[in-house]
């Protein structure tokens, strides 16, 4: 059950708010669904915070900053246990503060796991401890947990488990998968030049991934701003890694050159773009970001079930050394934008409940482009195909198409239908340094919905650019209440986008009808995004598109042959484009066209457009398999 709980994100809810909001009128409805436990505040607010906490029914005494210590923490956890679960035995081991903030995303989840498992733990992490040592210890703990979970699922007796443990431990080390959270600081130079004065820009320096001096104290708030901001990111990453009982790492500051190259790459898509130029820019991007690749980061990604990245940089576009495709092809990636930092902290710490879409899924497609616009016509045709293809295969997936050429029409439609997934088909536009949606003929950065659907898909161009640090509607919708938002980094072809959306709906319908392949909506999206590599390749030129429809020696079109038989078991996610080219080349060889088709792969080439999408927020909290079933499936077989 501990292993299964890694998919449930069981985090603490921590409200970060000003003292004036700490009252019944603001928090009353929220606290009805939670257990108010303890209030922590600056010393100067102690008397007022204590009075307000008592009125709101907090269980433990209010604690001022100056009294935070190992002794206070131990007393609080003992009081929590006695208040909520007095009849259960307490976990073994001491509770102590984690002083090394840079290593906390690694050490705190491991110490929690050690207490749950009854393993001995060090009371604190020494200042000279290295990241490599802590990472190795955390990895051993995760492997130990997976080994015991497998033996328990198999129903092994104590004697059998003892006999099989060593071999099972080796086997689990090769197949271990755990959630990984990453903190990647860094600001786009284009944004910094607008937001910060020259003196502040001079004071801002790149920071390493770890630093022995990055320690916690009650006077942390008196440090320079960049250290306080770093501590906030470390806190958020730690909170996430503890919630998933996984691994967390802080990375060094993303070099400015990486943002500059990314901005150039995103701009390149605004004009007729060449495959060769995009490959060169992606290579430059990898070179600029090369300092990120520590041995610990590579090892964590190799064992990650998915990545949660706290950053304003799209880490998923980078290619890990040894791979040939970017990270977002290797595994699911979701983003938590860092700016503004206080809002990121509030959103991360106030954890929303998970949502299950296992019973029914209502999709509302809001057409915001006039039908007189060729893009609008093609969008509607694409969604007609989605309705014909996906909806009939599922009794519980409903796709509703509406005409919403004004913001008011969009608001009314969402209020009327109350969808689970809102798809907004619109043009994207840049207004200064802001990436907005065009609804009708007006740009908008917010939707003003009374009830924000949990999932919003922005079927629009460049609504999540990252290179220039633009304020993007993709991120702003998270502040309006969306749990997850899918957006594009670059202008995308409406026909290719329609293909992606149709396939997304088809797989949602399949999972809804015959569950078991995908756990969350993030898993579905990753499968669709990665398996679309073959369509990216065929869209590279008219010659490739024509060849895709030609008949193979098995009397089937090339695309059908590839999808139904040839690709099965042969496409490795870290090499998805390379492997797809190889399999297609084999089919071409059988037709006597191998050299010609392989030349088309290079000239004019193709663009991996499917990879330039960003899933921000918490798509990993939107379950297609009910969370209760995940726990039931984890119970030992008898």
**What CATH number is attached to the domain comprising 437?**
3.40.50.2300
Do residues 376 and 323 both lie within one domain?
Answer: no
pLDDT classification of 122: cutoffs 50, 70, 90 = low
Percent of the chain surpassing pLDDT 70:
96
Q: Which of 236-240, 253-257, 430-434, 542-546 has the lowest mean pLDDT?
A: 430-434
Quote the radius of gyration of the chain (alpha carbons, Å): 26
Rounded Cα gap, residues 236 and 240, in angstroms: 6
Rounded Cα gap, residues 597 and 585, in angstroms: 7
- Residue-wise pLDDT for 462-504, tens only, equals 999 999 999 999 999 999 999 999 999 999 999 999 999 999 9
Do residues 314 and 404 both lie within one domain?
Answer: no
Q: What angle do CA 190, 193, 196 make, to 5 degrees?
A: 130
Q: Is the pLDDT of residue 7 over 90?
A: no
DSSP 8-state symbol, 562: I
pLDDT classification of 71: cutoffs 50, 70, 90 = very high
Neighbours of 97 (CB within 10 A): 17
Number of compact structural domains in the chain:
4
Is the Cβ–Cβ distance between 518 and 524 less than 8 Å?
Answer: yes
Do residues 413 and 487 both lie within one domain?
Answer: yes
pLDDT classification of 636: cutoffs 50, 70, 90 = low
pLDDT at 482: 95
Is position 594 within any domain?
Answer: yes
DSSP bridge partners of 307 = 180, 333
Q: Is the peptide bond before 604 cis (omega within 30 degrees of 0)?
A: yes
* CA neighbor of 265 nearest in space, from 525, 615, 607: 607
Is position 480 within any domain?
Answer: yes
Is the Cβ–Cβ distance between 541 and 293 less than 8 Å?
Answer: no
Do residues 554 and 592 both lie within one domain?
Answer: yes
Do residues 559 and 622 both lie within one domain?
Answer: no
Q: Is the pLDDT of residue 81 over 80?
A: yes
pLDDT classification of 108: cutoffs 50, 70, 90 = very high
- Read off the pLDDT of each residue in 161-184 and give the average, rounded to a whole number: 97
Do residues 319 and 412 both lie within one domain?
Answer: no
Q: Is the pLDDT of residue 388 over 60?
A: yes
Do residues 313 and 246 both lie within one domain?
Answer: yes
Is position 165 within any domain?
Answer: no
- Read off the pLDDT of each residue in 95-123 and give the average, rounded to a whole number: 88
Do residues 366 and 439 both lie within one domain?
Answer: yes
Contacting residues for 568 by C-beta, under 8 A, at least 6 apart: none
Is the Cβ–Cβ distance between 330 and 320 less than 8 Å?
Answer: yes
Rounded Cα gap, residues 134 and 90, in angstroms: 26
Q: Which of 295, 316, 349 is the last residue of a domain?
A: 349
* CA neighbor of 37 nearest in space, from 16, 14, 17: 14
Q: Which of 89, 105, 138 is the last residue of a domain?
A: 89
User: Domain range spanning residue 231?
Assistant: 180-349
pLDDT at 125: 60
Is the Cβ–Cβ distance between 31 and 24 less than 8 Å?
Answer: no
Rounded Cα gap, residues 249 and 45, in angstroms: 34
pLDDT at 129: 78
- Read off the pLDDT of each residue in 429-452 and give the average, rounded to a whole number: 93
Strand order in the sheet with 333-336: 247-250, 178-183, 304-310, 333-336, 613-617, 484-488, 455-459, 421-425, 361-367, 397-403
List, in sequence order, the alpha helices (H) in 119-224. Answer: 131-153, 158-175, 189-195, 198-203
Is position 164 within any domain?
Answer: no
Do residues 590 and 515 both lie within one domain?
Answer: no
* CA neighbor of 221 nearest in space, from 232, 211, 212: 232
pLDDT at 197: 84
Is position 447 within any domain?
Answer: yes
Q: How far is CA 119 from CA 111, 137, 284, in A?
A: 9, 12, 46
Q: Which of 288, 322, 349 is the last residue of a domain?
A: 349
Contacting residues for 581 by C-beta, under 8 A, at least 6 apart: 537, 598, 601
Do residues 598 and 620 both lie within one domain?
Answer: no
Strand extents, DSSP E, 225-360: 247-250, 304-310, 333-336, 355-356
pLDDT at 222: 85
Rounded Cα gap, residues 162 and 141, in angstroms: 17
DSSP bridge partners of 250 = 183
Task: Quote the mean pLDDT of the chain.
Answer: 92
Is the Cβ–Cβ distance between 622 and 520 less than 8 Å?
Answer: yes
Strand extents, DSSP E, 42-140: 63-64
- Read off the pLDDT of each residue in 101-130 and give the average, rounded to a whole number: 84
pLDDT at 393: 63
Is position 469 within any domain?
Answer: yes
Do residues 437 and 515 both lie within one domain?
Answer: yes
Do residues 584 and 485 both lie within one domain?
Answer: no
pLDDT classification of 276: cutoffs 50, 70, 90 = very high
DSSP bridge partners of 308 = 181, 334
CA dihedral sign, ordered 242, 244, 249, 255: negative
Neighbours of 574 (CB within 10 A): 19
Is the Cβ–Cβ distance between 286 and 319 less than 8 Å?
Answer: yes
* CA neighbor of 112 nearest in space, from 133, 127, 91: 91
- Read off the pLDDT of each residue in 394-402 and give the average, rounded to a whole number: 87
Phi, psi at 460, each rounded to 5°:
-155, 160
* CA neighbor of 134 nearest in space, from 167, 108, 172: 108
pLDDT at 634: 60
pLDDT at 11: 83
Q: Is the pLDDT of residue 589 over 80?
A: yes
Q: Is the pLDDT of residue 633 over 80?
A: no
Helix (H) or strand (E) holding 492: none
- Number of helical (H) and strand (E) elements in the chain, helices listed first: 25, 18
Is position 285 within any domain?
Answer: yes
Is position 381 within any domain?
Answer: yes
């Amino acid at each position: 059950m501990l292993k299964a709980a890694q998919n449930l994100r069981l985090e603490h809810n921590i409200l970060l708010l000003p003292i004036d909001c700490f009252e019944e009128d603001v928090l009353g409805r929220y606290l009805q669904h939670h257990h108010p436990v303890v209030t922590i505040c600056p010393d100067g607010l102690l008397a007022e915070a204590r009075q307000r906490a008592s009125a709101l029914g907090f269980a433990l005494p209010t604690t001022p900053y100056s009294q935070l210590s190992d002794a206070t923490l131990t007393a609080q956890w003992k009081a929590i246990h006695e208040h909520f679960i007095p009849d259960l035995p307490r976990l073994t081991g001491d509770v102590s503060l984690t002083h090394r903030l840079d290593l906390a995303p690694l050490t705190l989840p491991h110490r929690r796991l050690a207490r749950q498992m009854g393993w001995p733990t060090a009371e604190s992490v020494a200042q000279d401890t290295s990241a490599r040592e802590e990472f190795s210890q955390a990895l051993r703990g995760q492997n130990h947990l997976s080994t015991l979970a497998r033996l328990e699922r198999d129903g092994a007796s104590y004697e059998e488990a003892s006999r099989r443990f060593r071999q099972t431990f080796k086997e689990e080390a090769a197949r271990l998968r755990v959630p990984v959270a990453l903190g990647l600081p860094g600001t786009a130079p284009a944004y910094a030049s607008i937001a910060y004065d020259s003196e502040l820009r001079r004071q801002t320096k790149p920071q390493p991934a770890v630093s022995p001096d990055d320690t916690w104290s009650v006077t942390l708030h008196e440090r320079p701003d960049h250290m306080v901001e770093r501590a906030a990111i470390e806190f958020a990453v730690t909170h996430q890694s503890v919630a998933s009982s996984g691994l967390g790492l802080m990375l060094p500051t993303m070099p400015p050159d990486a943002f500059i190259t990314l901005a150039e790459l995103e701009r390149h898509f605004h004009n007729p773009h060449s495959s060769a130029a995009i490959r060169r820019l992606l290579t430059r991007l990898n070179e600029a970001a090369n300092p990120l690749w520590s041995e610990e980061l590579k090892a964590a990604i190799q064992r990650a079930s998915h990545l949660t990245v706290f950053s304003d940089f799209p880490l998923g576009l980078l290619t890990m050394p040894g791979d040939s495709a970017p990270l977002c092809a290797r595994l699911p990636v979701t983003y938590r934008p860092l700016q503004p930092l206080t809002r990121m902290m509030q959103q991360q710490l106030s954890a929303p409940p998970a949502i299950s879409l296992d019973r029914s899924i209502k999709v509302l497609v809001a057409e915001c482009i006039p039908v007189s616009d060729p893009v609008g016509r093609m969008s509607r045709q694409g969604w007609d195909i989605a309705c014909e293809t996906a909806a009939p295969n599922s009794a519980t997936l409903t796709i509703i198409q509406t005409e919403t050429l004004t913001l008011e029409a969009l608001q009314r439609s969402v209020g009327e239908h109350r969808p689970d997934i809102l798809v907004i088909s619109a043009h994207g536009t840049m207004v200064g340094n802001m990436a907005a949606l065009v609804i009708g003929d007006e740009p908008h950065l917010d939707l003003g919905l009374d009830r924000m659907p949990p999932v919003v898909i922005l079927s629009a161009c460049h609504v999540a650019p990252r290179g220039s640090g633009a304020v993007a509607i993709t991120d702003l919708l998270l502040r309006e209440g969306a749990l997850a938002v899918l957006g594009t980094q670059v202008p995308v072809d409406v026909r290719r986008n329609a293909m992606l959306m149709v396939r997304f709906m088809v797989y949602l319908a399949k999972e809804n009808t015959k569950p078991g392949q995908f756990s969350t909506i993030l898993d579905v999206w990753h499968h669709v995004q990665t398996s679309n590599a073959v369509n990216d390749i065929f869209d590279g030129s008219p010659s490739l598109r024509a060849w895709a429809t030609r008949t193979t020696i098995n009397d089937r079109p090339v695309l059908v042959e590839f999808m139904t038989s040839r690709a099965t078991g042969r496409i490795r996610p870290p090499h998805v484009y390379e492997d797809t080219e190889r399999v297609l080349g084999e089919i071409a060889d059988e037709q006597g066209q191998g050299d010609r088709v392989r030349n088309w792969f290079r000239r004019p080439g193709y663009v991996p457009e499917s990879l330039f999408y960003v899933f921000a927020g918490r798509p990993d909290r939107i379950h297609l398999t009910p969370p209760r079933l995940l726990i039931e499936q984890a119970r030992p077989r008898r």
